[in-house]
């Protein structure tokens, strides 16, 4: 089983509403996504499920990438907004998925989850992606130190 963790692209520091949840992508964020698309063109992934935070910046990040996976099942989760590593892992495990999965969310939770699963030091910058592989057929079995890092992407 393969799992991909993607941190949203670069955002404004402040939203029009003043709420962190409503922060929008900057032009630099869109440029980062364009770089990610080039990376994925050379190293395609095929998630069947995408778990995505409902924050504005994660939805905008997904909107720019969604055409890459026209048949993907998208599950928007309010609870992924600033979720901890264990909260994110609970949602992944609950899906009991046997296909590739992508999670689009936020730090600190995503980076801490990558570290927790792989026992490798990895810190996701904005629009950073890490690919993890597990020796299991179901996401329900994902647990601490069971992943191997297959690759990672860091936008410039």
Of the candidates 19, 16, 94, which has an alpha carbon nearest to the alpha carbon of residue 51?
94
Nearest of 156, 155, 154, 149 to residue 2 by alpha carbon: 149
In this prediction, residue 77 carries a pLDDT of 96
Taking the CA of residue 6 as centre, how many other CA atoms within 13 Å lie in the half-sphere pointing to its CB? 28
d(CA 33, CA 4): 15
pLDDT value of residue 64: 98
Q: What is the pLDDT of residue 156?
A: 78
Q: What is the pLDDT along the chain (156 residues), one digit of tens a residue?
A: 999 999 999 999 989 999 999 999 999 999 999 999 999 999 999 999 999 999 999 999 999 999 999 999 999 999 999 999 999 999 999 999 999 999 999 999 999 999 999 999 999 999 999 999 999 999 999 999 999 999 999 987
Tell the CATH topology of 2-153.
Answer: Rossmann fold (3.40.50)
* Angle value at C-alpha 135, between 148 and 48, nearest 5 degrees: 90
Phi, psi torsion values for 155, nearest 5 degrees: -70, 150
Nearest-10 Cα torsion for 27, 151, 65, 59: -70
Query: Exposed, middle or buried by CB within 10 Å (0-12, 13-18, 19+), for 78?
Result: exposed
Distance CA 98, CA 100 (A): 7
Query: What pLDDT, on the 0 to 100 scale, is given for residue 7?
Result: 98
3-class state of residue 127 by DSSP? coil
Distance between CA atoms of residues 113 and 89, nearest Å: 7
């Amino acid at each position: 089983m393969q799992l991909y963790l993607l941190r949203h692209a670069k955002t404004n520091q402040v939203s029009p509403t003043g709420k962190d949840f409503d922060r929008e992508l900057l032009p630099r964020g869109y440029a980062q996504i364009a770089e990610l698309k080039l990376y994925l063109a050379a190293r395609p992934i095929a998630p069947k499920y995408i778990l995505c935070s409902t924050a504005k910046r994660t939805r905008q990040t997904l909107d720019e990438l969604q055409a890459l996976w026209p048949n993907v099942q998208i599950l928007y989760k309010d609870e992924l907004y600033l979720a901890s590593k264990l909260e994110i892992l609970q949602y992944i495990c609950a899906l009991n998925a046997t296909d590739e999965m992508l999670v689009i969310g936020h730090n600190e939770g995503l980076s801490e989850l990558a570290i927790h699963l792989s026992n490798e030091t990895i810190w996701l910058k904005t629009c950073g992606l890490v690919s993890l592989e597990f020796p299991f057929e179901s996401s329900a079995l994902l647990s601490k130190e069971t992943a191997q890092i297959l690759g990672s992407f860091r936008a410039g």
